[in-house]
Chains A and B, each alone.
Chain A
Amino acid sequence: MTTQTKQIGKYRVEVIRDKCISAASCAAIAPQVFKMDEEDLAVVISQDGNDDETKLLAAQSCPTMAVIVTDTETGQQVWPPQGQ
């Protein structure tokens, strides 16, 4: 018998601080991964708090594309699309 398990934590997120405009969308969508710091800028507090889908959605919701998502298995940047 084989079992299928969802792989959590495949995506690694990073905030480009200079691009953050304090919209707080990432922290609203993935509050276990992002929070707003004392300067009201987004920071990563954990890579494992929310699942990959939620982390990607949090990154995609950022108005300034300040959140980079990398697939740690392939090393590929998932978000923003390369060239943007």
Chain B
Amino acid sequence: MISPQTYTARLEDKLQHNQKFTQYSFELIEPHRLEFQAGQYVSIKVSDQGEHRSYSICSTPDNNHQFDLLIDSTPGGLGVQLFNNLEFGHEIDILAPMGLFVVPEDLAVDQLVFVATGSGIAPFKSMIEDQLRNKKDQRQLTLHWGMCRPEDLLWLEEWQELDEAFPNFHFHPVLSQAPEAWTLCRGRVTDCLSIHERPINAAYFLCGGQDMIQDVTNLLTQKGVSQELIITEKFY
């Protein structure tokens, strides 16, 4: 892993996906290149007192002169306040790259299963695209993503494009407050995982709230998945 260092970056673009989620794109200024692995995060100083908040990078490592972050505006804390007040051209200081939540190069499994809830999707956007497009991973990659309502979902066109371009990618959104017309999985991600056949020789990547991670870990270990094949990133 590359040691983290301080970078200055400038806000170049922002895209409000829906009421909950906004994607922010930053151009690196100094240093102007950031080498990171898909799944890693940045730590941003959000107050003069020195408080930091962590955000997973949702863009892929091949674009190393910028990075994108997905911000959930609902918590309304210091981090959200900082992003709400950011204007185009504003600069921020970050510490990066951070974290160990990556797909190990030597992971000897036949399938990769990604399980997210809410903004836990952010690192998977980077990891899945990197595995499919950049690393040409031929293994089966499955994404189970739990959200409340259809209007909370984002990047649907991008997931659809990946689904069509890569036959080894499978996308399973699951809604806890699904409308009647919803034909896909309903309930929680644990329900979705229970419905679908358990893949043989798979590694599981879990990202989201601590309760989800605990519930899915319990489910998987009950089904015989070894703890070493369950790799987690807790959001808080």
Chain A interfacial positions (CB closer than 8 Å to B): 21-25, 28-29, 31, 36, 56-57, 60-64, 79, 81
Q: Closest residue to B234 on the A side, CB-wise? A: A21
Contact (Cβ within 8 A) B50 A29: no
Q: Closest residue to B40 on the A side, CB-wise? A: A28
Q: Does B236 contact A (CB under 8 A)?
A: yes
Q: Give A82 to B220 CA distance when docked, in angstroms.
A: 40
Contact (Cβ within 8 A) B3 A28: yes
Q: Do A24 and B100 form a contact, CB below 8 Å, given A29-B95, A79-B50, A81-B49?
A: yes
Q: Which of A22, A25, A31, A60 contacts B50 (CB 8 A)?
A: A60
A-B contact pairs, 19 of them (CB 8 A): A21-B210, A22-B100, A22-B234, A23-B54, A23-B234, A24-B100, A25-B43, A28-B99, A29-B4, A36-B100, A56-B50, A57-B95, A60-B50, A60-B51, A61-B54, A62-B52, A63-B53, A63-B236, A79-B50
Q: Does B98 contact A (CB under 8 A)?
A: yes
Chain A residues contacting B1 (CB-CB under 8 Å) are 28
Contact (Cβ within 8 A) B98 A25: yes
Q: Which of A25, A31, A79, A81 contacts B99 (CB 8 A)?
A: A25
Q: How far is the CB of B117 from the nearest CB of chain A, in Å?
A: 16
Chain B interfacial positions (CB closer than 8 Å to A): 1, 3-4, 43, 45, 49-54, 95, 98-100, 210, 232, 234, 236
Q: Is the interface of A mostly helix, strand, loop or mixed?
A: loop
Contact (Cβ within 8 A) A25 B234: no
Chain B residues contacting A36 (CB-CB under 8 Å) are 100
Q: Which of A22, A31, A61, A81 contacts B52 (CB 8 A)?
A: A61
A-B contacts, CB under 8 A, total: 47
Chain A residues contacting B50 (CB-CB under 8 Å) are 56, 60, 79
Q: Closest residue to A62 on the B side, CB-wise? A: B52
Chain B residues contacting A21 (CB-CB under 8 Å) are 210, 234, 236
Q: Give A81 to B49 CA distance when docked, in angstroms.
A: 8
Nearest 6 Cβ contacts at the A-B interface? A21-B234, A61-B43, A60-B50, A63-B54, A61-B52, A28-B4
Chain A residues contacting B45 (CB-CB under 8 Å) are 60
Q: Do A28 and B236 form a contact, CB below 8 Å, given A21-B210, A61-B43, A61-B52?
A: no
Q: Do A28 and B98 form a contact, CB below 8 Å, given A21-B210, A23-B54, A60-B52?
A: yes
Q: Give A63 to B3 CA distance when docked, in angstroms.
A: 18
Q: How far is the CB of A60 from the nearest CB of chain B, in Å?
A: 5
Q: How far is the CB of A66 from the nearest CB of chain B, in Å?
A: 11
Q: How far is the CB of A42 from the nearest CB of chain B, in Å?
A: 12
Q: Give A81 to B45 CA distance when docked, in angstroms.
A: 15
Chain B residues contacting A24 (CB-CB under 8 Å) are 98-100
Q: How far is the CB of B101 from the nearest CB of chain A, in Å?
A: 9
Q: Give A28 to B51 CA distance when docked, in angstroms.
A: 17
Q: Which of A31, A61, A79 contacts B95 (CB 8 A)?
A: A61
Q: Give A23 to B51 CA distance when docked, in angstroms.
A: 16
